[in-house]
Chain A
């Protein structure tokens, strides 16, 4: 529950200064809202009906599109900005292919999980590396750094914990909860990092350099 509400932290900061913030931060805030709504809806549905996986099918492409669009605003070169934007329809098309191939909800999550984690972590790591490489000064006060670290931690926790949970026998409920708790702590830290990024001072409005 704490992990779910932590997802709203970055949005609160951005919504409070919506007109005086950057476009990238606005999209990150929307991404966080989509995350929160998805988790909240899944929680409510699981309590009411016992199944919530279909929410994941519809919302994960939207979440990924929002995140890729936000990351595109932090690209240092026009060609990588364009690549990220081109990737959005390709990612959505891939989700459709995975859904058709998987056939059932459980399999869909099993296949789309690695696809999603690999995709998002690659783009995020790429963004942080290229931005650090071209940053003319210290990067600690840059929103992209904290946001990318948060995103990497979130999907990193997903990549690490998901196979452990999948490998556990169904009767080890207690151990499963332990793993979920560790992941929840990681998720809270991830969104605190993103929240930290949203509180960074605004960069000066520059056209960039040649």
Chain B
């Protein structure tokens, strides 16, 4: 083959290489964009479902618990009102007052739990670190998992905006909820540290772990919502896990900005 013709075909081969690379990128972008669209639709649906679930939970708590207690209190008070002489004498009256007080206390506790779940006021009043300590203690009490705390933020988390502090709190809350639901761990650790202008919150468990994949491939909303919250706060979200070696979830967000 003459040299000029050979050179032409070498040139064609090089062009073919460039075409293959560009075609692969174009196809990948097209597929990825469609995949992203599907993913966003599925996020939106999951988000709406989660909203509905939250509302259903509040309605259930109010209907099944608060309203029942209110009905009991009403009944007790109307009985009290209609009886001219307390049945059973003063001793019995004092027992009924005690029962009413206990009922009101339970009602107050239940309403506080609902309010706290809807919005943790402790973040506004005391800041992120006390809120995380409180969360660890609540989870320990409700799930029986020993949640250790390692909260060394050097007071820097106070500089976090309320939104970012709330996001980190929600991530920790979701992380601990995952630990309680899926990890099978008896022990977990929550830590907060200030590093290079960031606040990093980690939730580590010593449970059975899993094979990590992209959070977007997760079937539930937990990992996705943690990743999305971190992204909204311009932060970085990471998961380390291996079967049999536990899981660590870490979210770090810039203190300023």
Q: Is the CB of B32 within 8 A of A82?
A: yes
Is A80 engaged at the interface, CB distance under 8 Å to the other chain? yes
CB interface residues, B 65-101, toward A, < 8 Å? none
Could you say which residues of chain B place their CB within 8 Å of the CB of A176? none
Is B214 engaged at the interface, CB distance under 8 Å to the other chain? yes
Taken together as a complex, chains A and B put the C-alpha atoms of A160 and B24 apart, in Å, by 27
Question: B20: which of A82, A90, A101 is its contact (CB, 8 Å)?
Answer: A90
Could you say which residues of chain A place their CB within 8 Å of the CB of B27? 83, 86
Q: Is the CB of B215 within 8 A of A207?
A: yes
Q: Is the CB of A83 within 8 A of B9?
A: no
Is B236 engaged at the interface, CB distance under 8 Å to the other chain? yes
Q: Is the CB of B10 within 8 A of A110?
A: yes
Could you say which residues of chain A place their CB within 8 Å of the CB of B10? 110-111, 114
Is A189 engaged at the interface, CB distance under 8 Å to the other chain? no
Number of interface residues of B (CB under 8 A): 35
Kindly provide the distance from the CB of A74 to the nearest chain B CB, expressed in whole angstroms: 15
Could you say which residues of chain A place their CB within 8 Å of the CB of B1? 107
Question: A207: which of B13, B28, B213, B230 is its contact (CB, 8 Å)?
Answer: B213
Q: Which of A6-14, A27-35, A118-126, A190-198 contacts B (4 or more CB under 8 A)?
A: A118-126
Is B179 engaged at the interface, CB distance under 8 Å to the other chain? no
Taken together as a complex, chains A and B put the C-alpha atoms of A53 and B189 apart, in Å, by 62
Could you say which residues of chain A place their CB within 8 Å of the CB of B241? 205, 207
Q: Is the CB of A122 within 8 A of B239?
A: no
User: Which range contains the number of A residues in contact with the other chain?
Assistant: 20 to 34
Is A172 engaged at the interface, CB distance under 8 Å to the other chain? no
Is A169 engaged at the interface, CB distance under 8 Å to the other chain? no
Taken together as a complex, chains A and B put the C-alpha atoms of A107 and B5 apart, in Å, by 11
Output the nearest chain B residue to A126 by Cβ-Cβ distance: B21
Output the nearest chain B residue to A117 by Cβ-Cβ distance: B17
Question: A210: which of B9, B24, B236 is its contact (CB, 8 Å)?
Answer: B236
Q: A86-B24, A122-B21, A206-B212 are in contact. Are A115 and B9 (CB under 8 A)?
A: no
Q: Is the CB of B214 within 8 A of A208?
A: yes
Q: Is the CB of A114 within 8 A of B28?
A: no
Output the nearest chain A residue to B238 by Cβ-Cβ distance: A209
Taken together as a complex, chains A and B put the C-alpha atoms of A80 and B25 apart, in Å, by 7
Most buried by B among A78, A114, A209: A209
Output the nearest chain A residue to B28 by Cβ-Cβ distance: A83
Give 24 pairs: A residue, B residue, CB < 8 Å, sorted on A.
Answer: A79-B32, A80-B28, A90-B23, A90-B24, A94-B17, A102-B9, A107-B1, A107-B6, A110-B6, A111-B10, A114-B14, A114-B17, A115-B13, A115-B14, A115-B16, A115-B17, A118-B14, A118-B18, A119-B17, A122-B21, A207-B212, A207-B238, A209-B238, A210-B237
What is the interface of chain B, defined by CB distance below 8 A to chain A? 1, 6, 9-10, 12-14, 16-18, 20-21, 23-25, 27-29, 31-32, 212-215, 227-228, 230-231, 236-242
Q: Which 7 A-B pairs have the closest CB atoms?
A: A83-B28, A87-B24, A207-B212, A115-B13, A118-B17, A82-B28, A207-B239
New A-B contacts (11) at CB < 8 Å, excluding given A115-B17, A118-B18: A83-B25, A86-B31, A101-B9, A107-B9, A110-B10, A114-B10, A115-B14, A115-B16, A205-B241, A207-B213, A210-B231
What is the interface of chain A, defined by CB distance below 8 A to chain B? 78-80, 82-84, 86-87, 90-91, 94, 97-98, 101-102, 107, 110-116, 118-119, 122-123, 204-210
